[in-house]
Chain A
Amino acid sequence: MASTEEIRSGLADIVNEVAGIPAEDVQLDKSFTDDLDVDSLSMVEVVVAAEESFNVKIPDDEVKNLKTVGDAVAFIETHQGEA
């Protein structure tokens, strides 16, 4: 199972690839929309890539609750390997 930091770092690479945000900016306290300027469609791409990368299922209804990088990392950490 991946650690919190491994998940954050993996997620940072995904956000970088999808939205072109520097990976080092993707920190736990950052809001996807307000701080990182990741719009809702890019967020869908991030979620799909994270699902594949961490073997986790992130339902559509859950995506709107993932406001910060920390929210997403916590969700993935709890549910990884369940998909």
Chain B
Amino acid sequence: MTATISTAKGSEHARILSIAGYRPSRVVTNAEICERIDSSDEWIRTRSGIIERRFAEPHETVQMMSVQASKKALERADIAAAQIDCVIVATVSHLMQTPAVATLIADELGAGPAPAFDISAACAGFCHAVGLGADMVRSGSAKYVLAIGVERLSDITDPTDRGTAFIFADGAGAAVIGPSDVEGIGPIVWGADGSKYDFIRQIQSWSDVLEMETPEMPTLRMDGNPVFRWASFEMAKIAREALDRAGVMIEDLDVFVPHQANMRITDAMARALRLPEHVVIARDIAYQGNTSAASIPLAAAALLESGEASSGQTALFIAFGAGLSYAAQVVTLP
């Protein structure tokens, strides 16, 4: 017989309850980067807007940075780890294929036996996690979700590659997502274009590495100009769609937090979007570099901590990267 199965029931609305980041201790200047590549401080600043970045020290592991950011986020949300119903970690730089680092993070925080898993959507990962978390809260799969974006890209960056050595960096960001009386997380606009799989990629697969005479850690490569074109112009269309789907006029936007890929992409997107003057634009990349999945929560937390943005304001998140994958949503800042 076909039994009657109950439907889970969640909160009608979801919102981000808190957001926090962890910045590794070691500051790496452009001068230090230029010891390994033929470049200059001025070239790096004009091409990327990066003045310095942070690299993790050995003890600042993916797990450690995630736990630190998460503890701060839980404290700000006034939620105990035991209340978390799901831990989602967006990363591409945890160098242990399985199990998911999310399980270790959940255990160390005391969030077990909450389900915990990693997602691989590169720089777009955090916005994927926020979208999934909001859907879980609204569908009844979870009341509170911890969404983490974390990277140690310095482990998989070739310090002699002129195209990427100055861009990538390390860090972690975390957000607690929970129920709300009014909507705080707009419809996600997301997608992937596997025909551009090669634009940003790990140069060899693990099996290719095993066949090398002297095995080397595979590193990241990027086709800068095509990525710049796609990110600056195609992603501006996705950003507009996220605003449309949320029913938010661009004039009503307070804060723009794009993935901190490159300051030139942020500037080109802002121009393409015709952002009004009053909109605060996240420019965390200047002192943090491109931290892939961690960049949006780090940048948003920095704006809230500095007072440039405030709780209750309307922000647009848009993240894009390897895949090519992308995700955007309008949110109310916690």
Which residue of chain B lies nearest to A43 when distances are taken between CB atoms in the complex?
Answer: B225
Judged by a CB distance under 8 angstroms, whether B9 is at the interface is no
How many residues of B are in contact with the other chain, CB < 8 A? 11
Do A48 and B46 have beta carbons less than 8 Å apart? no
Do B229 and A44 have beta carbons less than 8 Å apart? yes
A53 to B264 CA separation, bound complex (whole angstroms): 22
Judged by a CB distance under 8 angstroms, whether A40 is at the interface is yes
Secondary structure dominating the interface of B: helix
A-B contacts, 23 of them at CB < 8 A, read A39-B46, A39-B47, A40-B224, A40-B225, A41-B47, A41-B224, A41-B225, A41-B228, A41-B264, A44-B225, A44-B228, A44-B229, A44-B232, A45-B232, A45-B268, A47-B229, A48-B229, A48-B232, A48-B233, A60-B225, A60-B226, A60-B229, A63-B225
- Closest chain-A Cβ to B193's Cβ sits at a distance in Å of 15
Residues of B within 8 Å of A40, CB to CB, are 224-225
- Closest chain-A Cβ to B196's Cβ sits at a distance in Å of 11
Interface positions, chain A 23-79, Cβ under 8 Å from B, are: 39-41, 44-45, 47-48, 60, 63
Residues of A within 8 Å of B233, CB to CB, are 48
Residues of B within 8 Å of A41, CB to CB, are 47, 224-225, 228, 264
A63 to B223 CA separation, bound complex (whole angstroms): 14
Chain A positions near chain B (C-beta within 8 angstroms):
39-41, 44-45, 47-48, 60, 63
Which residue of chain A lies nearest to B48 when distances are taken between CB atoms in the complex?
Answer: A41
- Closest chain-B Cβ to A72's Cβ sits at a distance in Å of 16
Interface positions, chain B 185-225, Cβ under 8 Å from A, are: 224-225
Residues of B within 8 Å of A60, CB to CB, are 225-226, 229
Residues of B within 8 Å of A48, CB to CB, are 229, 232-233
Contact pattern, B 237-281, Cβ under 8 Å of A = 1, otherwise 0: 000000000000000000000000000100010000000000000
Residues of B within 8 Å of A47, CB to CB, are 229
A60 to B230 CA separation, bound complex (whole angstroms): 11
Contact pattern, B 81-108, Cβ under 8 Å of A = 1, otherwise 0: 0000000000000000000000000000
Residues of B within 8 Å of A44, CB to CB, are 225, 228-229, 232
Residues of A within 8 Å of B226, CB to CB, are 60
A45 to B225 CA separation, bound complex (whole angstroms): 10
- Closest chain-B Cβ to A36's Cβ sits at a distance in Å of 15
A39 to B226 CA separation, bound complex (whole angstroms): 14
Which residue of chain B lies nearest to A51 when distances are taken between CB atoms in the complex?
Answer: B233
Q: What 10 pairs across the A-B complex have the smallest Cβ distances?
A: A44-B229, A41-B264, A60-B226, A44-B228, A48-B233, A44-B225, A41-B228, A40-B225, A45-B268, A48-B229
- Closest chain-B Cβ to A59's Cβ sits at a distance in Å of 10
A55 to B102 CA separation, bound complex (whole angstroms): 49
A58 to B144 CA separation, bound complex (whole angstroms): 48
Residues of A within 8 Å of B47, CB to CB, are 39, 41
Interface positions, chain B 277-308, Cβ under 8 Å from A, are: none
A27 to B232 CA separation, bound complex (whole angstroms): 27
Which residue of chain A lies nearest to B265 when distances are taken between CB atoms in the complex?
Answer: A41
